Structure 1
Amino acid sequence: MGDGLHFSMPPPQDVAAMSHLASNDPWRVLSCALANLQQGRFDVSRRLVGLMHETRDAEVWNSCTLLISYAAPYSVIRELEASSERLLEPRRSPNTRRYFCEVLASSAGVWGVPHLIRHYREMEDRDVKAEVETYLSQVLEAEPGPIWRGPQVQWESNELPPPFEESTQKFMDEEYLALLEKTFQQRVSSQKLYEQEALVEAGRLNIREVAQRLLARVCTSAYPDRIDMGRMVLESATGLDCRAFFDDSGRLQNLTAAATIEEFLERGDADRYLPGVRYFFGHRIPS
């Protein structure tokens, strides 16, 4: 909600020098990667996967996840996904698995949805599962609905007489997983989606539609998580500076955000972007 995918201050003039990618300082590597990605040099994203293998620092992983999600080619994201189980060792932390879910959801590849569902299936921590349910909804639902709400809950009694009777929650996970699979297949078949296309909010990624939905939501403050997502999708694809959407305390500035989006739409800039195709700062991301 702060600087998004822009530098918070003017970086050093040599920030994009490739020599920085070999630095032992992860923040020098990340800054170099961002500068190059903004210029459409997408090969540097592979270095971010290496950085995740080298360190378990949460802030570094947060930054790597953000850049990989929105700027890495799917070939690089496939490599990350292929190494996910190794990166989860030695502790299979549910919080660690969430990073891979975020990448798969934010990068929005049709090919990645089955992997996202698999990660969800293998989770046990209900709090982390709830976060991933939001990711799944952002990919598969036009508006928050049954997927966003998560699996239904039933209460099961131990069938002892009072005062010994106790009830426990039972989450209907199998029914929920069946809903995910069915919804995904419906989206793919109804829209004839290819696995290398991007799927956002139940439809083929379309930057004009992303901007229009975001405009409607900032005018009403509806669905804050969808506002955050829409901002990141729009900003990452186009390079549009959305830093003024929020004040220093993180509050949405509705009028400022709406004016920025309206100006973008009126300029016709959205017409530059092909449906289903990912871009970063106006550069088409290769598969």
Structure 2
Amino acid sequence: MRPPYLWNSFIETGAGVHFTTPPPSDVADLKHLASNDPWRILPCVLANLQQGRFEVSKRLVALMREVRDAEVWDACAVLLSYAAPYSVIRELEASSEKLLEPRRSPYTRRYFCEVLACSGGVWGVPYLIRHYRELKDRKVEAEVEFYISQVLETEPGPVARGPRVLWESNGLPPPFEESLPVLLTDEYLKQLEETFQELVSSQKLYEKEALVEGERLNIRNVARRLLKRVQTGERRDRIEDGRMLLEATTGLDCRAFFDDSGRLKNLTAAAIVEEFLERGDADRYQPGARYFFGHRIPD
């Protein structure tokens, strides 16, 4: 059972990658990693990651092999996305087909898409597109289109809109004739590949760099876009993602972005981001590199 100090941790509109309340004093003791209780393992991993001890992230991949629980996988996905070295995420990706067994649910495959997209690795985009190609559920496809857009587009555009739809006759005579939607998936996949390759070429991106919203990860630009969005309240999905990335990278406490019911507190959120930008703290972070709580993630 999720302990009270993790009550709304790992949730975009909750405590994010902070503890909800102060955890026990021994939360970071590595003995917890050997526990059979995922809710002892997860706070231990979080506490160690916050201190820059990234080797503990390997335990998350093992935990996903051991436990088939949506809430546990949600937490693992968040920590892997924002704090695991790419070597660990590659290990997860190598295990993905086995982890999808015995039932290859599109909802399970979505987790791997989330990690690949939110971690932003240039190396991971082809794998993200491959996972999308394997999806068979339109609702999940739409979710993954959002993930891919989050990587490839500064603002939601053609990638976020998904494949074009053509309406074709079922070939029956009136009054039995109906028009059926046909998704132009192959055309869309080609568009994804071309958009990605253009970004890599034009920005001279390397495999181990992070790609976020159509550019090499730059936390100052992330914060500027986030500030504009919280001021207007537009693009709620991008606000949540921007909050998580800014918070994870810097350790900035963004829990006050939302009230207890998950409503955005525009003025409070704007003040937090403005203060971050005015302090010049973004100068600490090398473009293209990933950090967690100010510690550079090794790759």
2:80 alignment partner, one of 68, 72, 94: 68
Give runs of aligned pairs for residues 151-190 of structure 1, distance below 5 A.
151-190=163-202
| Offset of residue 158 of structure 1 | 1.6
Selected match of 2:280 from 252, 268, 276:
268
TM normalised by structure 2 equals 0.95
Partner of 1:128: 140
Deviation at 1:143, TM superposition (A): 0.5
Q: Distance in 1 between matches of 2:176 and 2:215?
A: 51
Separation in structure 2 between the aligned mates of residue 187 and residue 227 of structure 1, nearest angstrom: 23
Query: What is the aligned counterpart of 2:204 among 192, 196, 215?
Result: 192
The aligned residue for residue 279 of structure 1 is 291
- Gaps of at least 5 residues in structure 2 are 1-12
Do structure 1's residue 102 and structure 2's residue 89 form an aligned pair? no
**Number of the residue aligned with 1:46:** 58
Which amino acid in structure 1 is aligned with residue 93 of structure 2? E
Quick one: distance in 2 between partners of 1:217 and 1:60?
30
Distance in 1 (alpha carbons) for counterparts of 2:235 and 2:20: 27
Aligned-pair CA distance for 1:80: 0.2
Equivalent-residue separation in structure 1 for 2:204 and 2:16 (angstroms): 32
**Deviations 1:38-78, CA, capped at 9 Å, x for gaps:** 00000000000000000101000000000000000000000
Tell me which residue corresponds to 2:5: none
The separation in 1 between residues aligned to 2:148 and 2:36, in whole angstroms, is 35
From 250, 273, 276, the equivalent of 1:238 is 250
Q: Does 1:225 align with 2:237?
A: yes
Deviation at 1:159, TM superposition (A): 2.3
How far does the alpha carbon of each residue in 1:127-177 deviate from its partner, in whole angstroms, 9 at most, with x for none? Answer: 000000000000000100000011011111022221111221100000100
Which residue among 140, 151, 154 is the counterpart of 2:152? 140
Who is 1:253 aligned against? 265
Tell me which amino acid in the other structure corresponds to 1:159: G
Tell me how far apart the structure 2 counterparts of residues 165 and 10 of structure 1 sit (CA, whole Å).
64
Q: Distance in 1 between matches of 2:155 and 2:219?
A: 17
CA distance in 2, matches of 1:15, 1:32: 5
Q: Which 5+ residue runs of structure 1 have no aligned equivalent?
A: none
Q: What SS is found at the alignment partner of 1:132? A: helix
Among all aligned residue pairs of Structure 1 and Structure 2, give the percentage whose two residues are the same amino acid: 75
Structure 2 residue 101 is the aligned partner of structure 1 residue 86: no
- CA offsets per residue over residues 16-38 of structure 1, 9 Å max, x none? 00000000110100000000000
Alignment of 1:25 onto 2:37: yes
